[in-house]
């Protein structure tokens, strides 16, 4: 077994906001360098159900699949198969837990696992993804704590 990536941190908002920032407001904070097309104005979508797609859509309507929802339990838990820039057969698993620790504080725990299914490339892909998470999480933490509270403010 290849050791999973495990991250834990706090965000300055309630668990409901932490969950919705991850799943509904993703386009506002996700860096373009962490997408397939890297074009301005793209949308990142999580279809809110088990079996739902995670994908990006460019302003021209081109879509690129990133994953599939395996657990949808707002506001406490989200799980998905993850294959950004990879074949779905090489998907790894991400599980995120959002735990309220105060009215305006949430602990976020991420486990990214399943590297062994990639065979010899598993450890190298895990190590690359560790860097990806390090570049992604600060954007999310900032967005979750921002004063914007609804998806309408981002439309």
Domain boundaries, the chain: 5-154
The predicted pLDDT at position 155 comes to 39
Which structure tokens are listed for 19?
């969950």
Return the exposure string of 45-58: e unless at least 16 CB atoms fall within 10 Å of the residue's CB, then b.
Answer: bbeeeeebebbbbb
The predicted pLDDT at position 148 comes to 62
Across the chain, how many H-helices and E-strands are there? Answer: 3, 7
Domain 5-154 CATH class label: alpha beta
Burial class (CB in 10 A: 0-12, 13-18, 19+), 18: buried
Walking along the chain (155 residues) 10 residues at a time, the average pLDDT comes out as 97 97 97 91 97 97 96 98 89 98 97 96 95 96 80 41
- The answer to whether 88 and 103 have CB atoms below 8 angstroms apart is no
The predicted pLDDT at position 150 comes to 46
The predicted pLDDT at position 149 comes to 46
Output DSSP code: residue 76. T
Within 10 angstroms of residue 126's Cβ, the number of other Cβ atoms is 20
- Single pTM value for the model: 0.92
Strand partners, 53: 68
């Amino acid at each position: 077994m290849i050791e999973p990536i495990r991250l834990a941190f706090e965000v300055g908002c309630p668990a409901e906001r932490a969950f919705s920032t991850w799943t509904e407001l993703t386009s506002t904070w996700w860096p373009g360098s962490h997408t397939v097309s890297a074009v301005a104005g793209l949308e990142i979508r999580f279809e809110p159900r088990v079996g739902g797609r995670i994908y990006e859509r460019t302003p021209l309507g081109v879509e690129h699949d990133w994953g599939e929802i395996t657990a949808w339990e707002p506001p406490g838990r989200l799980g998905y198969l993850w294959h950004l820039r990879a074949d779905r057969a090489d998907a790894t698993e991400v599980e995120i837990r959002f735990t309220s620790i105060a009215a305006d504080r949430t602990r976020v725990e991420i486990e990214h696992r399943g590297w062994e299914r990639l065979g010899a490339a598993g450890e190298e892909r895990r190590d690359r993804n560790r860097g990806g998470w390090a570049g992604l999480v600060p954007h999310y933490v900032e967005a979750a704590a921002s004063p914007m509270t609804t998806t309408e403010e981002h439309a």
